[in-house]
Structure 1
Amino acid sequence: MTAWIVLPVSLSAFSITGIWIVYAMAVMNHHVCPVENWFYNVTCIEELPRPGFPKSCCTIQDIPLISKCGSYPPESCLFSLIGNVGAFMVVMVCFLRYAQVIEHSHRCWVNTSALVSGCTNAIGLVMVGNFQVDHAKSLHYVGAGVAFPAGLLFVCLQCVLTYRLAVTALDYWMAHFRVALALGAMISLVFSGIFFIHESFTLQHAAAICEWVFTVDILVFYGTFTYEFGTVTSETMMAGLQQSHHGSGVIMGSRGQGSTLGGATKGLKSPGGSSTSTHLNCTPESTAML
């Protein structure tokens, strides 16, 4: 067991708790209406704010989308912090997972694609967190349009990798659980997009709920990497770094062959246990260099 198991669960706990705190602050500051409210008006007369109570008159501008909750201070400050810190932790999780797969087998396009999609997801999170929807709508929507699909692609690719690297029955159960999370994320994202383009208050509110489900679902998925990260060591970090240099052409000739990570000779250790398998599921890339 290593200290790296704290990273995925910290990402999930910090981000999920943080966005719900942002939501609570936005409700109490009358910037959005509660998620349980389904009744909206076309317009509202100006009402006196009641400290400690949510708004009693809601319009379409008060629908509790996650981005809307983080649009105004003071909650926007916390929202930006969550976006920035969460994005950094996402990159760390994605790289460690990439290196872990490299350590146990040769590089494959699924693993590389998962790393790229995870980092793309992080870039989108930074944009979403720092460009609030009511102040920089275009940049915010670009960030959301990057973060959501990239996050969904990442979890789908990780489902494939989980099955490929599975050795024990517990590994396969984790793979099944991740598939269920990925399907839930896909369904909620599709419905969120469908509902969001309509002007109906009810459908807009349903889009907000689907957005919350999708976000929490993805964050829980990231948290499941705690299962594998118990076997992460300093060699895992070096495996990812060396393979990155190897792939970019920095290491060439005999040196490049010497730095190949020995995935063909190293047994594949089950992430959740100590059993090994010599079966490699990722197709080895050619070691021929220029």
Structure 2
Amino acid sequence: MVTTVTSQAARVRTSEQARILAEQSDRHAVTLESLLAVLRSTRLGDQAARQTAIDVAAGALVELRTASDVRENDFLEPVVGAFERLKTDLRPLVRFGQLDVQFVEPPANGRALPGAVALSARAIVRNAVLAFADADDARRVRIQWDCDGLNLLIGIRDDGRGDLHAHDDALRRIAEQVSANDGTFRVASTPGWGSDLTIALPLDPPSASTHSVEEDVDLSDREREILRHLSTGARNAEIAAALRVSPHTVKFHVSKLLRKTGARNRAELAALAR
């Protein structure tokens, strides 16, 4: 029993560390992209661009210091408040970037979001906007949040080439974040008309299990091989080379393993394998 509890505590710590690192990475990416958008803007003179860049950087520093003092996943956040924070995160990028972003407000009476879900939802949308900005083929993006009582529903639509799919490298971070929250992720694309990303994040955590992976999950031989490599910390490219398959195939099996085991991310999946 002591060993089981210790193992579960280690898994929680590993998962939390991975989540914090991912959240910091997302915030830094948005800040840097916003600074670039400000400095490249043709609507600002040199002095105005310099002052705006300073304001963006200062705001990011305040946000970073505040986040280090508050454990955001320990409380409930009103859905309208979480959405407003998302708009604040993206405001400099939206104002000075090339994307025309439309925000569709969630219902004011929607169920409050657990802090971890609110964090993940904002990170998912930020990653989507960054992916569209990097692709440089979309001009408009529509972001919508809603609640059905059990899930936070996120809809993101762009007017780009319409060639995105669920296993696209540009959407990898989003797929991982959705899997980490035990959610669902669908992509519908129409060539020449754009892509629709539909995401559902459960508001209630899945029930915990104390069984081992071998006892609790029916895995194929290939999934067992990949799980064994994951336990050593191997990356997708290394696993693909060792098994003589494509990196895309490895990503597909890792996604299946995350769903089957209930692991929140690759780090927890590797911990389960060990």
Q: Does the TM-score normalized on the shorter chain lie above 0.5?
A: no
Higher RCO structure (Cα 8 Å, ≥6 apart): 1
Larger Cα-atom Rg: 1
Q: Which has the higher strand share?
A: 2
Bigger helix fraction: 1
Per the normalisation by structure 1, the TM-score is: 0.30
Normalising by structure 2, we get a TM-score of 0.31
